[in-house]
Structure 1
């Protein structure tokens, strides 16, 4: 057994002992379900014959490829604040086992350490792929991405969002949470890049979204005239951005904004977003799908000719700090290129 294997086994044994002492089975099962829903554990324990087997299975499921996430100890301390010494002892074992928490560089830069842990559990940079079933599940998926980005311990993040209209993919409340994590006006702000509603690409996407929405309701293919125009789709997205920035906005104000033309509504969104240093641009190119960057995590969507991006798989991708040119880096460069070519105005 190598020294790291011995350390891993010691941590495993000590963690198993602590959990059996500090929690009963039903209580910890509920806690695991909560952690599973937030993406903290790989799976839930199945039926077991004894308490020992349950906790043994639980510890196995706290590990990804024999790797225990360093944030586990913060979560345990939150649940058991009366056991700080025992939990700190577990953390010291983890720091010494090569599990991603040690090393002078990582101690000076906990954000870098966290990204290393995420990259360790990822496959080719992809931590998780979400297949849409219900809107609530999609919102939970985006919520998990925000939670994981928070664990990078950066107070504010560089938020970059590349989408078509942002009309149907994300709820206003979740968009508000995303904006709250953006860097303040004194630093690099929030970059939102949307399709020019007068472009051929925007027209094609509006038709695809209309077909998907109407087919979901009736299974039919109604006349083209019943689809929303790309300008209307874009205005809907801009109003959603304004609502996310202004929690106290009244229905009368929303109704009034809906009467604005597209340029005036864009100016209003920029005005409301001044405190977040929001910059909105419009692109004319063709995209493969939405790209939402939350610091060093990326949520990537896909599009098709007959569907909304919401109904297609989404991937959660981490920036591997030890590798230049990974999937995150490639898509980050794509965003920067689209952003550089985008305009603040929409020309018919």
Structure 2
């Protein structure tokens, strides 16, 4: 672009942008224009454009385009502390949470502004969207307990609609905080009387934690394997050594993983293996990964099994299961 055309372009840039917004042109046009401005920003007089008043139209853009506009025209230092606070509150008041999020990212503001945004979203029943923001920035969800609480309560409302109360109680038995929400939800909707509500809260304090299998036989069957040949192992003992002796002597083993189901969106990136099932032709061994995963001997045994080319591993989705296990 020659000097004359460049000056003409800069003089009309504000009109082009304003016209694009007013006429609601396709976003692809704006993106192409922004891409051009990014590539040629060294040849454009940004300071002159700032002084011309073009900065005033930044708020008319939406979502990613607004963030890019702020970046292209270097507006970060153009806002005072008061203006930042005002614009964020204005976005929240108008429920333009995506714009508020892009504004926060574009200006690289302190996290206190983000925490205030997501807390306001929690009160506006926008916890799911707030969770998306937290995940995008890879922030610690623990810093936003109101969002976690709102997501968990939404989860409980879904369970209440989809499952009978006894099934919900079974699923939540070992998650005290969620079970409390469920009891409160039952009481609030008049499905249980006050005494039942209080009794269930008492049960939370005295949850029976004696479900520790010391190499005992599991109840039930696994295909054609009899129940006395299905063994749960949660510690390094003689049962453990006997299990691996049997596995390593077998030419074919079945391998499968069971995972802890995440309750909320913020847990979806932290899927944890809870049970590893390894079966030979005659026996099945269920390893409690949550109790054994930090024991180096268990890690070594699993690694050796998976690397042993003489043993054929069988599973419906072995690749997916192995990806969920961190073998070091």
TM-score by length of 1: 0.24
Q: Higher helix proportion, which one?
A: 2
Higher-RCO chain (CA-CA 8 Å, sequence separation at least 6): 1
TM-score by length of 2: 0.25
